[in-house]
Structure 1
Amino acid sequence: MSNQQNKQHAGQQLRAVSYARISLDRREGAGVERQQADTRKLADLHDLDVVAELVENNVSAWSGKKRPEYARLLDMIRAGQVDRVLVWHTDRLHRNVGELVDYLDLTRSHGVKTLAKQGNGYDPEAADGKFLATVLGAVAEQESDHKSERVRRAIRQSRERGEVQRTRYRTFGYEHDGETIVETEAQFLRDAARRVLDGDTLRRICREGQTAGVTTTTGGTMTTTALRRLLLNPRIAGLSSVAVAGHDRPREVIGVGQWEPIYSPETHEQLVAALTNPNRATNREGTAPRHLLTGIATCVCGGTVCASTAPANRQGVRHPIYRCRTKRDNFTPGPHVSRRIADLDGYVKAYVLDMLARMDLSDYLTSTTDDGGKLDRLLTERARLETVLDDLEARYLTLRTDRERAQWDRLNRATLDALDETTRAIDDAAGDTSAVAQLVGVTDIAEWWEGAELDDRRGVVAELVTVRLLPVPRGGRGFDPEYVDIRPRRAD
């Protein structure tokens, strides 16, 4: 007989936890108050002792974003503190089949049943319980996919007509309405475009802009990555576009916008050609390092590496290499090693990008910053605000009346202002102590890497990993990752 059955026979109440998730889309169902009221009635009906009421604040079950209250629910189940989970509808918990299956495995191993006010709950111990739950989860996931596809199709049609897009962030150079030009910012973009086409570097333009007080629309530093993205954005040239799959690829222009351009479409085409040219230099100033791992990777002897050129091979080709600086300067005895720059850079880049893709940026930054939890709270608030903006953006094309649009405008503006303030606070809390902090808000790490200046990429590599080159056995040919010792600086 299970512990739950023992409790029931002894007249003890089973422990229950209710879980509610807020959705800004009113068509999605009940608000949180209604959800909680219904789960309380469910608890009374089954004579359950509600030990906790968990409310997920504006986080979609299918967005993939971190859900702290859901994680807390799983922890309570693992700790044996829960006998029943109460929800208004099971789609409040999951819209992803893989996540649902993990949940069912966990609840089955701990004898926990899920009760729902609307629709069917989950009884993982029943013969067909897991099957039915998985089918329900698959249906909910399909509904989410269909909804996302409808939204994407509506957005594309709107952009083909050149309509002004009201998105979460104010575009640099324009007011929040997406049409009114901010002349000081527009002039900065015109000057930057002219200088790039004349061969100037993004780094120099940004440095001079920072001195003049130029910031992003969120109050952050105008970095080379941010400026490059702006100059590649067709919107600045009065063109409507959609994103294209693939890293560092220009957006697809699908219409002429119904707003005033800051510079001409011809200038935009010239900028795309210049900024996507692989032969464009990204670091031309002084004697600063021109390669990713100069002064970062180390030889087996402990000395750092520098860029050099290998002797000519049988075909007369001389490949750029990293070689030990101490060997070059005759400081220490060997052994010393070398590697082709292209091979080692490519390997380290892939390692770091994979590391960043798996990293919880919030956890990383808060663990490296001693501020009494302030940064953690700011990052949590930023994630919440971004989820609100996700829902607002999805709702915009469904608005029908002027009153609805006015309400949407007020909420969107208030949320954007709050996001601006929170992002500035994050920059103040972490921006000066971590090179990785510049990735806050970046949705495509690989795209950021391709557009980032060399110094920014070097800073991230130096902060995250150590790279040590090991001797290759005699007779070894080609690049072998086995003889590169790359390790995270911080244990997971």
Structure 2
Amino acid sequence: MNPPLVLDSYARESRRGDKRRLSVTGQHASNEQRIRDLGATLGRRLDDQGKSAWNPEVHREDWHVLIGRLTSGESDGVVIFDLERFLRQVKDAVRIVDLAKLGFKVFDSDMEFDLMTTSGRDAFYKQAVAAETYSSRLSEKVSRGNLQRAANGEGKRGRYRALGFEDDGTTVRESERPHIREVDRMIRQGGKPWREAVAYLAKHGIFSTAIKHTTECQETKDSLSAYQLRRYACECKGEPFTENGLQKAMKSPRMAGYSRLGKNLVGRLPGEPILDPPDHQELLMLITSRRGRPPAQIFLCTGKVPMRCWNCATVFTQRQSSHGAKYADRDEVKRTYLCDKTAGGCGKTIADRYVLDGHVRDSVVEELSSAESAEELKRQREQKMVQRAPFEKEVTRLTRIRDHWDRQLNEGAEDMTIERHTFLVSDLNRKIKEQKAKLREIGEALAAPPEAESREAVLRKWEAAGPEGQRAMFKQAFSGRPFYVMPGSSLDTDILDRIKARPRLSA
């Protein structure tokens, strides 16, 4: 007597139901009854809850587990409630038929698909085509419905209530309108920082809508029906906005009365917008132009300049006096250069900022005012120009080709689609990036042949240059010939004897 078949039960629902999982539970109950009717035994219960079988981007974990069990022979087949719960794309059906050569069986609630026969495969394919057709039509209907609802200002509003709006995401909450307008005025016209806007809202009792509910409140919400949940109001308080959170809320197109579907603006909300559209666009411009940290102060001897630690040949960083001590001749807190520990250095103190900067200034002025130095710089310039020439020529050629494809796309050339343009330009961009990386390795050549100048002229040029200009002169004078400074006290006023031509390791 042959042993009974081992059949897995597979269930799927496209959207997550409530915690009781009625849809999946019902499918499994029907499948298990079918397994008993077939005289088989249950292998595993497998289900993908809230997973679409139509969207190829969705990973159905238990579906792949099932395929693995069927392929390995752990299961003799599968029972599904109906075929569209199992698959909704013909390509999945083709894969199942290919695997069916291993001998497993597929059952639904009222029929068996014998995939080893032509008629069985034909019935299976027809069901798969019907499922895919149904999904395609449903997707089109849903897309049209979403577009129409978005154009009317309806539809999905997100996880939390939008600032300035009621729970429906469409009706303006009038109590918040004047405060949002005041925040807009503070930022656009008053030039106030966002932290003051956050404090203003908190002062007037307006907090982030991303409320973290208490455990008791969450349990109460979970026990309510959808109708009861709409009428439920808790007393959980939100936290004050973060600066980034408030910026994100103020950037919402809803503020200017626009309705959105994905990244596209598709209509206008009913009623008067909270902010005038031009004002909102100006606010957006301000927000998007304030990215990143403010520029840091530039120092002459930090980072990528010809200056290293004598102990370990590592670049320098700088640190402000922890006690707030100031220089006697200027209203400025003292700063010290030290070996950059984050770059693998020893972290030891090198010297006072202005003491070392003074030595660098004197060395640069002396170097750039000598005729020998000017001749050497000319030679280096010519050498770099020769090295850079082929790469610059290639960048020019590739850029010209890329500009041609850009014009083709912009002018609507018949055979130039966005996909084709992207495909062509991606290769060009990669090549351009490679060539520019090689140019960076070579380094910039001087714009003009250097001429020997008097010491006074070089000194005037140094004094007139800002921090970046002085760093450029430092690199120009000593490129490839760095100084090495022995660590020492930041109180030393003369460190000339600690400046070396070679690091300790090579001494």
TM-score category of the 2 structures, normalised to the smaller one? 0.3 to 0.5
- TM-score, L = length of structure 2: 0.45
- TM-score, L = length of structure 1: 0.46
Query: If you compute each CA radius of gyration, which structure gives the higher value, 1 or 2?
Result: 2
